[in-house]
């Protein structure tokens, strides 16, 4: 009798608790869905944490720019320009462009790495703004590009680089470089979704970037090149960017030079950003 009464009392208490729980859940408002900005900042923070716990990822924006600038200035400056000081004025904007656009490939490599580890599928299952995964990573990449720019310009000033365009010219040049790098990164995110491994993406990106950066006006004046090679250098998008950045830093850039780079950047974003999101949404 006592056992039956105890069991009945326990069931009754359990039923009451269940009712109270349901009432609490029904009367409590659901949390608001995070907006696009919050989603993007969350994934930006994720990318920053990777830099915190794997600081060697910053080698490409710290040590390598210093090596490139010192090596090319003092190895080739005397031979090409007759003076390392004069060559530095010409070289630094070009080396800055070459360094930053070369490291844009790492955005696609990180995405490809997430796909291979299965993190990509988990992100797609979340109720978030889909582009935030990519845009957040690209924002942090812009921070990395800015670090590389600050290091190179700071070292250049120590070595004797004197931009005639002043502070405004240098800031404008870096801003234009960041815009182009942001647009270029969308190409690598597209390839990161198409190619099956991180190594294959690196191989393809270097196959594209290597000739574009070295067969350009980064190191020499195109007028010194053979006519057939000069024709390619003149239409090379890297050359157009270097010309605009160099012109802004030295105060001689034209509206046409800057406009061409801005239009090219917007076209890259308009083409490859939607393509990346289409592949991101439909990837198996």
Lowest mean pLDDT among 5-9, 14-18, 174-178, 250-254: 5-9
What is the DSSP secondary structure assignment for residue 217, as one 8-state letter? S
Q: What is the pLDDT of residue 140?
A: 86
pTM over 0.95: no
pLDDT above 60 for 121: yes
The mean of the pLDDT values for the chain is 84
Q: CA distances (Å), 112 to each of 2, 31, 92, 283, in order? A: 66, 33, 32, 12
Lowest mean pLDDT among 14-28, 90-104, 149-163, 193-207: 14-28
The mean per-residue pLDDT over the stretch 164-169 comes to 92
DSSP string, 149-181: HHHHHHHHHHHT---TTHHHHHHHHHHHHHHHH
pLDDT above 90 for 66: no
pLDDT above 70 for 12: no
Q: How many CB atoms lie within 10 A of CB 32?
A: 7
Q: What is the pLDDT of residue 277?
A: 86
Of the pLDDT bands very low, low, confident and very high (cuts 50, 70, 90), residue 162 is very high
Of the pLDDT bands very low, low, confident and very high (cuts 50, 70, 90), residue 11 is low
Q: By C-alpha distance, which of 243, 206, 241, 204 is closest to 223?
A: 243
Structure tokens at 90: 């010409």
The mean per-residue pLDDT over the stretch 61-86 comes to 83
Structure tokens at 25: 């859940």
In angstroms, how far is the first alpha carbon of the chain from the final one? 62
Q: What is the pLDDT of residue 7?
A: 54
Q: CA distances (Å), 130 to each of 96, 98, 161, 278, in order? A: 32, 31, 43, 11
pLDDT above 90 for 243: yes
Residues 222-231 pLDDT 10s: 888 888 889 9
Instruction: State the virtual CA torsion across 240, 241, 243, 247 in degrees, nearest 10.
Output: 140
Structure tokens at 8: 């009945």
Q: What is the pLDDT of residue 56?
A: 76
Q: 3-state DSSP call for residue 241?
A: helix
Lowest mean pLDDT among 2-6, 151-155, 279-283: 2-6
Q: What is the pLDDT of residue 125?
A: 78
Burial annotation 249-260 (CB, 10 A radius, 16+ → b, else e): bbeebeeebbeb
Lowest mean pLDDT among 35-39, 139-143, 158-162, 190-194: 35-39
The residue ranking higher by pLDDT, 225 or 120, is: 225
Q: Under a CB-based contact definition with an 8 Å cutoff, are residues 193 and 115 in contact?
A: yes
What is the DSSP secondary structure assignment for residue 162, as one 8-state letter? -
pLDDT above 90 for 269: yes
pLDDT above 90 for 176: yes
Q: What is the pLDDT of residue 47?
A: 83
Contacts of 41 (CB under 8 A, 6+ apart): 136
Q: What is the pLDDT of residue 238?
A: 94
């Amino acid at each position: 009798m006592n056992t039956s009464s105890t069991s009945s009392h326990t069931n009754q208490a359990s039923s009451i608790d269940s009712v109270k729980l349901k009432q609490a859940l029904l009367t409590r408002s659901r949390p608001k869905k995070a907006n696009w900005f919050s989603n993007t900042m969350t994934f930006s923070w994720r990318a920053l944490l990777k830099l915190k716990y794997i600081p060697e990822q910053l080698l490409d924006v710290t040590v390598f720019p210093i090596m490139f600038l010192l090596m090319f200035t003092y190895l080739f400056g005397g031979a090409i320009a007759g003076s390392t000081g004069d060559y530095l004025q010409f070289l630094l904007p070009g080396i800055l462009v070459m360094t930053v656009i070369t490291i844009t490939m790492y955005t696609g490599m990180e995405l490809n790495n997430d796909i291979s580890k299965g993190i990509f599928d988990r992100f797609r299952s979340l109720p978030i703004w889909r582009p935030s995964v990519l845009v957040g990573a690209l924002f942090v990449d812009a921070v990395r590009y800015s670090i590389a720019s600050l290091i190179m310009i700071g070292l250049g000033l120590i070595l004797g680089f004197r931009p005639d365009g002043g502070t405004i010219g240098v800031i404008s040049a870096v801003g234009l470089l960041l815009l182009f790098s942001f647009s270029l990164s969308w190409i690598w995110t597209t390839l990161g979704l198409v190619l099956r491994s991180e190594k294959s993406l690196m191989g393809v990106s270097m196959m594209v970037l290597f000739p574009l950066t070295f067969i350009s006006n980064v190191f020499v004046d195109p007028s010194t090149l053979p006519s057939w090679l000069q024709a390619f250098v003149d239409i090379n998008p890297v050359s157009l960017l270097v010309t605009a950045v160099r012109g802004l830093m030295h105060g001689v850039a034209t509206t046409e030079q800057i406009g061409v780079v801005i239009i090219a950047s917007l076209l890259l974003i308009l083409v490859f950003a939607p393509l990346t999101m289409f592949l991101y949404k439909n990837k198996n």
